[in-house]
Structure 1
């Protein structure tokens, strides 16, 4: 019986040690998590301090900060240019009032009715054309409208041949929605006419 008693005691001791080790590991993980949370808060505070410093002092900061401030300004400029490239690829611009994405070249935002900047409208006219199916502005070199799927007429193609062709289904649907004030074709989901700003 002594052998089995010793064996049982050893098993019990081993189990208790394993349980204690598990509890210790669990507590270490918990405390490490608290440390990480506080480190993240510190890093966020440093970021906010840096942003506040740059916005407050800008180019008038001490020489030891000037290079870092200039780097931040340069990177922000690059990000703005990248965002502009994405907008150009998508053929859209953002409404300054509501932030909605609006096709380039429209006169009014189709979500809130705000007038769109004239400079962007002129810029869009240089490299975009109006889709005959839905009226959205699309890049000149695309073959199909990204909004309605209408085939865009290549510049060299005879427009008479295009008019003779039967209209596609998306084109028929687009023809059904027109502005009651100016007669412009309306895009799907538009709350306002993109030509005259009338609520539809």
Structure 2
């Protein structure tokens, strides 16, 4: 009786191992097929993006498109400007500037971009001795000129007397 039990157990285990092995092989094959399917779908998405990029570049180069495509391309341009503004705002908050070539955040005192190597635009520095000059509005300027006798008023060229035209 013990032999029958172990014999049946052995047969059952063998069938189970064979079934599990077949299921595992089937699962692995299905996963390979799914992986291939996803890679193909990703390639299609990339191709769609490439088509869109080509059309957008043509739009930027001034080619005419139908109203729908031109509207989408204009939206992309507007969004890119908004993204650039956001990057610049973040860089400013961090005390940095944005590289005009690649868009990377660069220290304000950098001469070149650490990412792409492009020369950074030179800052226009204000002189430390700069004086504040207040410009008077036109109405008050006349009063100021009258109150400051030290300055010689500029001579205005003499106007020729107007001669009435004969009819």
What band does the TM-score fall into relative to the shorter chain?
0.5 to 0.7
**Structure 1 residue 2 displacement after superposition:** 4.3
1:27 to 2:32 alignment: no
1:88 to 88, 92, 117: 92
Residues 4/102 of structure 1: CA separation in 2 closer, same or farther (3 Å cut)? closer
Q: Distance in 1 between matches of 2:121 and 2:8?
A: 87
**Corresponding residue for 1:189?**
none
Residues 23/56 of structure 1: CA separation in 2 closer, same or farther (3 Å cut)? same
Aligned-CA RMSD value = 3.4
**Corresponding residue for 2:19?**
17
Tell me if the contact between 2:97 and 2:106 (Cα under 8 Å) persists in the aligned partners.
yes
**Corresponding residue for 2:68?**
64
**Structure 1 residue 97 displacement after superposition:** 7.7
Q: Distance in 2 between matches of 1:115 and 1:15?
A: 67
**Structure 1 residue 38 displacement after superposition:** 1.6
**Corresponding residue for 2:106?**
101
Q: Distance in 1 between matches of 2:96 and 2:4?
A: 86
Residues 26/66 of structure 1: CA separation in 2 closer, same or farther (3 Å cut)? same
Q: Distance in 2 between matches of 1:71 and 1:7?
A: 70
Which aligned segments of 4 or more residues in structure 1 are displaced greater than 4 angstroms? 94-100
Structure 1: gaps of 5 or more residues:
130-200
Secondary structure in 1 matching 2:56: helix
2:38 to 36, 39, 53: 36
Residues 63/36 of structure 1: CA separation in 2 closer, same or farther (3 Å cut)? same
**Corresponding residue for 2:9?**
7
TM-score, normalised to structure 1, is 0.49
**Corresponding residue for 1:174?**
none
- Structure with larger RCO (C-alpha < 8 A, sep 6+): 1
Larger radius of gyration: 2
Tell me if the contact between 1:95 and 1:109 (Cα under 8 Å) persists in the aligned partners.
no
**Structure 1 residue 6 displacement after superposition:** 3.2
Structure 2: gaps of 5 or more residues:
129-167
TM-score, normalised to structure 2, is 0.57
**Corresponding residue for 2:82?**
78
